[in-house]
Amino acid sequence: MAKGKVYLVGAGPGDPKLITVRGLECIKACDVIVYDRLASPRLLKHVKPGAEKIYVGKLPDRHTMKQEEINRLLVDLALEGKVVTRLKGGDPTIFGRVGEEAELLQEHGIEFDIVPGITSAIAVPAYAGIPVTHRDLASSLSIITGHESPDKLDRSIQWDKVTQATGTLIFLMGVAKIGYIAEQLMKYGRPPETPVALIRWGTRVEQQTVTGTLATIEAVVKAADFQPPAVIVVGEVVRQREKLRWYERKPLFGTRVLVTRARAQNSELADRIEELGGEPCEFPVIETREPADPDARAGIESALQQAESYDWLMFTSANGVEYFWRWLRRFRIDIRRFNRARVAAVGPKTAEALEHRGLYAMELPVKFQAEGLLESLEGSLKPGQRVLLPRGDLAREILPRDLKESGLEPVVLDVYETVIAENQDAETLELLLRGEVDVVTFASSSSVTNLLQVMRRMGVSEPAEALRAAEIACIGPVTAKTAREAGLSVAIESEEATIEALIGAIAASRQAKRFSNEGGAD
């Protein structure tokens, strides 16, 4: 059997978007990914279907797997002919023990690549508003391990030389030894008033920072019950934090948001959450698909073949637009056959989906709901006109009902089905059940219903009760009504049924909450 290959990859400091392009390529290519707790679990969604995931993470009080066992595991997997990605937090060459792993691979003749990552020593202070160098404050820095016991620290660190060697000192893994580290630095010449910062879980939603001086920092850490993992920064650059704390000023900083939209639609909402400083947890509970029933497919073809008979094409969602075009391609129906029809759309995203295909909606409703469509088209609709409504099977009946009552002939065409998504992430559900999700978003009534069903299917007997720790955010009044009827307490409701309005409402709510809590921890 041919030997496999091992990629020794730095995952970066925690924010999954700080992985390198090369690192992401290795994740996508591997047969097995071996990862630790400092690598963002959100990176795992990029592995190919069927790839094995092996957790070998270490906690402060225990090791899931000893380093020697990890080394041997990489060798064994490669000898089985597998492509292995060893995903390590930060940069694998900075206190990552990558040398030990690479040496054993070399001894067994196994090919390997070392893929550098963004080290937490630089990135974490940057996310706390602390540049590790500054023209006026520090032109050099040292990166030092702080994880060892005091006697080992004394053997591995020449305190008399390190203390004054560079303007900025960065200690990794030294929270438990902060008192001893501060004591040694003062003993060998650093002034007691030297600024110090500790940043916990930097670049992640849990990021927390405490500051003090060499004389006070141990007491500050104890008072805050500050726990590892954290990066320690010593030096005048720490003073820059008050002016440059850019990340913590973002409106969704510290906010974990559950996204329940269909997987194909998650990216827009997830990207906006990240842009505003939050962390999206993707937990899609709905999927859209073409109707499987042959009679339904035949009905779609029949309706589309009557293209010349329609006076109006009315689209109520971007999904309706997408699937409408899929069926046109399937049945080879030229869009120009609808030249008699005027086009209307519910909401700007629906109109945008049409524009991408060269069609411009004649009218847009003010409310971005089906109810608003007829209001905005008042005077244009005439009795006897034939209206084609390409939509999903769960769409509300209010629009075809109102059209019929107005004397028009609605032709309802279910071009896609909405079903419960499969293969939800159990780890994300655990976050939700532990109360570690701040906001749960619903972008449709079906996402409300399906989330509750999915939670029951995954063993949660009272899903509405389990969601009480999080704020419920709904896109518009229709979805909010469904959520309330399901027993959920809706805390955030956007006035318009758009993703941008939903994000704005969430950001406003979180900022108001933050301001009401001012005066708390840094």
Catalytic residues: 36, 58, 173
- State the number of CA atoms in the 13 A half-sphere of 483 facing the CB: 27
Q: Angle at which helices 476-485 and 445-457 pack, to 10 degrees?
A: 30
- C-alpha distances (whole Å) from 463 to each of 285, 311, 434, 488 are 14, 46, 13, 9
- State the number of CA atoms in the 13 A half-sphere of 78 facing the CB: 28
Residue 111: CB atoms within 10 A of its CB come to: 12
- State the number of CA atoms in the 13 A half-sphere of 227 facing the CB: 4
Residue 410 one-letter amino acid: P
- The answer to whether 34 and 56 are in contact (CB under 8 A) is yes
- The answer to whether 210 and 522 are in contact (CB under 8 A) is yes
As a whole number of Å, the end-to-end CA separation of the chain is 56
Alpha carbon distance 246, 243 (integer Å): 8
Q: Tell me whether the omega of the peptide bond preceding residue 229 falls within 30 degrees of 0, making it cis.
A: yes
Which residue spans within 325-426 are E strands per DSSP?
Answer: 342-345, 386-392, 409-420
Burial call 65-82: b when 16+ CB within 10 Å, e when fewer: beeeebbebbbebbeeeb
Alpha carbon distance 144, 153 (integer Å): 10
Going by DSSP bridges, is the β-strand pair 5-10/111-115 parallel, antiparallel, or unpaired? parallel
